[in-house]
Amino acid sequence: MEFYTVLSAGLAGLVLLAIVALVRHHGGAYLTWHVYLQGYMKSLFSSRSKEQRILDFVLKHAVPGDPTSVLNAIDKYFSQQEWAMNVGDEKGLILDRVLQEASPSLVLELGTYCGYSAVRMARLLKQGTQILTVEFNRDNADIAHQILQFAGVKDKVQVLEGSSEEVIRQLQKKHAVDTVDFIFIDHWKDRYLPDTKLMEELGLLRKGTVILADNVIFPGAPDYLQYVRSSPKYDCTYYPSHLEYLDAEDGLEKAVYKG
């Protein structure tokens, strides 16, 4: 009897380990587990949204005016407690490198969320450089404002509230933009291609504009990848990596506009 009890417990343990391994390596399974189940449960028992929980953690654990401490706090929270869609520490290093190589004066980001990537970029850019970051969710934009302020990078970053299409159409007239030097594309994946084509049409790209797109493998933006890789207007480089805070495969695509 005892033998069978030990055997069943052992088997149950093995099954559990297999589920954990599957979930960690499979982006879709992990997200279902973390975002929809764990996130839902946390929100159910808390009066704060996930984004408010990020802000609370930053205010408690980071140092005001120190952007690196803000990034470290966010990365720590999301590696240990729950999952979120910031570009994250691993792909963040690629973003840092490509941004520094481009040495832009004007950056456009599509998809602010809580401001993690905006803080990441702002800390590397010299005084006078401007980042315009676009967010259509008012609650996210509000959290981003507070995180940018706390990190001490508010002077370099302007959050433009509205849909990417609407804001892109207003950049020249309303925000006095001529062309953009560096674009970080990280909003909903079905907008990557239409927004890129729109920026081409409006003349917002110049020879040498660098477009860096996140999540081109997971969740994936196949129509965008197919377009830039097959177009004579772009020189493309793929940077393999992993989905933020996970082992599942993901990557960034750099597309340099040739005019």
List interacting residues with ligand SAM (CB under 6 A): 85-87, 111, 113, 116-117, 134-137, 140, 163-164, 186-188, 191
Known binding residue 244? Answer is yes
Q: How far apart are CA 248 and CA 259, in angstroms?
A: 35
Out of 51, 215, 250, 254, the active site residue is 215
Backbone angles phi, psi at 86, to 5 degrees: -70, 160
Known binding residue 214? Answer is yes
Known binding residue 140? Answer is no
Out of 51, 214, 250, 253, the active site residue is 214
* Cβ-based nearer residue to ligand SAM, 111 or 129: 111
For residue 97, count other CB atoms closer than 10 A to its CB. 12
Q: For the residues of 73-127, what is the DSSP string, one character each?
A: HHHHHHHHT----S-HHHHHHHHHHHHHHH--SEEEEE--TTSHHHHHHHTTSPT
Among all chains, which residue has been given the structure tokens 């973390």?
Answer: 34
Known binding residue 117? Answer is yes
Out of 91, 156, 189, 254, the active site residue is 189
Active site residue 214: yes
Active site residue 186: yes
Known binding residue 75? Answer is no
Among all chains, which residue has been given the structure tokens 């973003």?
Answer: 95
Rounded least distance, CB 8 to ligand SAM, Å: 43
Q: How far apart are CA 106 and CA 131, in angstroms?
A: 6
Report which DSSP code applies to 132: E
Active site residue 244: yes
Rounded least distance, CB 71 to ligand SAM, Å: 10
Out of 51, 75, 181, 186, the active site residue is 186
Rounded least distance, CB 239 to ligand SAM, Å: 15
AA letter at 174: K
* Cβ-based nearer residue to ligand SAM, 152 or 194: 194
Catalytic residues: 186, 189, 214-215, 244
